[in-house]
Structure 1
Amino acid sequence: MNDRFDFAFDFDLDELAPADAASEEAVERFWSGDLTTLSQHHTTPNGSHSFVVAHDQSATWGVPGAPQVMAIAVARDLTRFTFTLKTSHHATVPFAQAWLVERGCPPEKIAKVRDGLVKPADDLTLWIERQIRESGTRYKVLDNHTSDSDPYETWTLTRDSRADEAPIRVFHEEWDHDAGTYTMREGAFVDVGTARSWLDDRSGPLPEPPEYSDDNGAVVRARVALIALARSTGASAVPKSDLEAPRTPPVGPAQRLVQGRLL
């Protein structure tokens, strides 16, 4: 399948009608010429659903800092010859994938991104991305920002419903153009104001979540090591139960873009 996709061909909607006003409006606003596919999954054999993560180049010409990753979900009713189409913009690929997973896409099917993009710099990045992708409704996104000029980064400000301590979480993605890699890190804050202060002045390192320290820190490291082992041996995916982030104890971390372009 081509990286640059044609809307009518890939989604196969020529003989179908929008099922509702929202889908009709989405089609009218949709322009596939601005999109580059990053990850996708289409159901078989009947092709009733399509799930796509794409870089939206038009976002680079709009409001500075706007998210540049689009998630697209298409559901076809082949008995009624109708379809629904929904889209959502996100700062990073994992949050777009999570949105699609919530709409029925198997996480392992949308996890693989196409070749030719910058790569994760380390296994902690992979673990945090999986944590986001399979988070369900855990994270409520409060704000995000994308910078495709120096500094080359994105951040997503969230509220973690599973965190008993420091529930405001910042997911910070940073790109190293020379190395052709990126890192994703998670930071924890007691409130939104503290998180925004860090984002504004970067006066110190991104504070790690409480669950990264003490006994749970060993759990995090062990689960990251499982990812490293799976990558080195070419093993099948590690079971989700082995990789789930530990809960904070009740007491006591596109689209890979360089200057708006894909590597």
Structure 2
Amino acid sequence: MPELDVRLDGFTADEKTTDAFFHTVGWIEDELVPLAEHHTADAAHSFYVLHDPTATLDHPGVSQYAALHIHRDMQARTFRFEHAVLPLPAMAQSWLIHRGCPPDAIGLVAGMGPAPADEATRALERRLAGDGDHYALGYSYTSDDPDDMVVLAALRALDECAPSPFRVVVEEVDTDAWTYTLREGGFATAGQALQWCEDRLSGTAGPLPPVKPAASSARPAAVPMSGISRPPGRSR
């Protein structure tokens, strides 16, 4: 199992940054598993996709992945950082790519979890990772129940004219085959998208409705922005 090395020996930061880094990363640093990382040749920037296996222990539904970008001032020996908690690794990759990480440098380490079950899963992951400026993440729920391991993410189009302005992305894990599928559905309203999520968690959801074809070449993806209120009665 790879260990997280944030490469900050000999670096300092102001009190606000130091406290924020400790409460975000430092106190669980030994638990975080790096699934992907990239460091620039000048060592000024580090990008990480992290998995936190403890995330749902106290708060069911909480996302288990995080994106971390560390920026070092090599002359002053100081650092600053950005961090986002996200429901899917591809969304963490997207977040990092849109902060300067080369897309081909942040691929996930093989064998660190279940494998993609099919090409449809791989294709959707590539879109989510590569085009993180079309849709905003508004709600997510992660279930690590061995009998129903599922991640739900509800997205809102940033383009008001986009077809299927609301999307639900669903990751389901086959624990016997140790593979996962990733699928998306299109909805006309936020309420419809959130209701489908609620129905999926209660086991009553029908098939995901198809996504309407886009009128242009824009491709959907997700970024961590507030866009949809979570359903009532369900922890995030």
| TM-score normalised to structure 2 length | 0.82
1:153 counterpart = 2:150: yes
Matched with 2:67 is 71
After TM superposition, give the deviation of residue 170 of structure 1 in Å. Answer: 0.7
5+ residue gaps, structure 2? 221-236
- Residue 58 of structure 1 aligns to a residue whose secondary structure is coil
- What is the correspondence of 1:116-127 to structure 2 with a 5 Å cutoff? 116-127=112-123
Query: Which of residues 182, 185, 190 in structure 1 aligns to 2:188?
Result: 190
Question: What's the C-alpha RMSD, in Å, of the aligned pairs?
Answer: 2.0
- What is the correspondence of 1:1-263 to structure 2 with a 5 Å cutoff? 3-5=2-4, 10-18=5-13, 21=16, 23-29=17-23, 30=26, 31-44=28-41, 46-149=42-145, 150-162=147-159, 164-201=162-199, 202-211=204-213, 245=219
RCO higher in 1 or 2 (8 Å CA, sep ≥ 6)? 2
| Contact 1:101–1:134 (Cα < 8 Å) also in 2 | yes
| Contact 1:26–1:86 (Cα < 8 Å) also in 2 | no
| Contact 1:39–1:114 (Cα < 8 Å) also in 2 | no
Q: Measure the CA separation in 1 of the matches of 2:81 and 2:6.
A: 10
5+ residue gaps, structure 1? 217-240, 247-263
| Contact 1:98–1:135 (Cα < 8 Å) also in 2 | yes
Q: Measure the CA separation in 1 of the matches of 2:67 and 2:11.
A: 21
Q: Measure the CA separation in 2 of the matches of 1:51 and 1:97.
A: 9
Which digits, 9 at most, give the CA deviation of each residue in 1:155-194, with x for residues without a partner? 1111123462221011100001111110110111001111
Q: Measure the CA separation in 2 of the matches of 1:208 and 1:111.
A: 29
The verdict on how the C-alpha distance between 1:33 and 1:111 changes in structure 2, with shifts beyond 3 A counting, is same
Counting matched residue pairs gives 210
1:33 alignment partner AA? D
After TM superposition, give the deviation of residue 20 of structure 1 in Å. Answer: 7.0
Q: Between the two proteins, what is the percent identity of the paired residues?
A: 35
Q: Measure the CA separation in 2 of the matches of 1:200 and 1:83.
A: 41
List structure 1 segments (4+ residues) > 4 angstroms apart after TM superposition.
Answer: none
After TM superposition, give the deviation of residue 132 of structure 1 in Å. Answer: 0.8
Q: Measure the CA separation in 2 of the matches of 1:97 and 1:20.
A: 29
| Contact 1:20–1:84 (Cα < 8 Å) also in 2 | no
| Contact 2:35–2:112 (Cα < 8 Å) also in 1 | no
After TM superposition, give the deviation of residue 36 of structure 1 in Å. Answer: 1.0
Which digits, 9 at most, give the CA deviation of each residue in 1:77-113, with x for residues without a partner? 1022111122211111011111111111111111233
After TM superposition, give the deviation of residue 11 of structure 1 in Å. Answer: 2.3
Which digits, 9 at most, give the CA deviation of each residue in 1:202-249, with x for residues without a partner? 43101110118xxx9xxxxxxxxxxxxxxxxxxxxxxxx9xx738xxx
The verdict on how the C-alpha distance between 1:185 and 1:118 changes in structure 2, with shifts beyond 3 A counting, is same
1:211 alignment partner AA? P
Q: Measure the CA separation in 1 of the matches of 2:95 and 2:15.
A: 20
Which digits, 9 at most, give the CA deviation of each residue in 1:10-33, with x for residues without a partner? 222121112572x31232222211
1:12 alignment partner AA? R
Q: Measure the CA separation in 2 of the matches of 1:159 and 1:115.
A: 32
Q: Measure the CA separation in 2 of the matches of 1:55 and 1:62.
A: 16
Which digits, 9 at most, give the CA deviation of each residue in 1:38-84, with x for residues without a partner? 1111111x211111111112312221100010111111110221111
- Residue 133 of structure 1 aligns to a residue whose secondary structure is helix
The verdict on how the C-alpha distance between 1:82 and 1:161 changes in structure 2, with shifts beyond 3 A counting, is same
Task: Tell me which protein shows more helix as a share of its residues.
Answer: 1
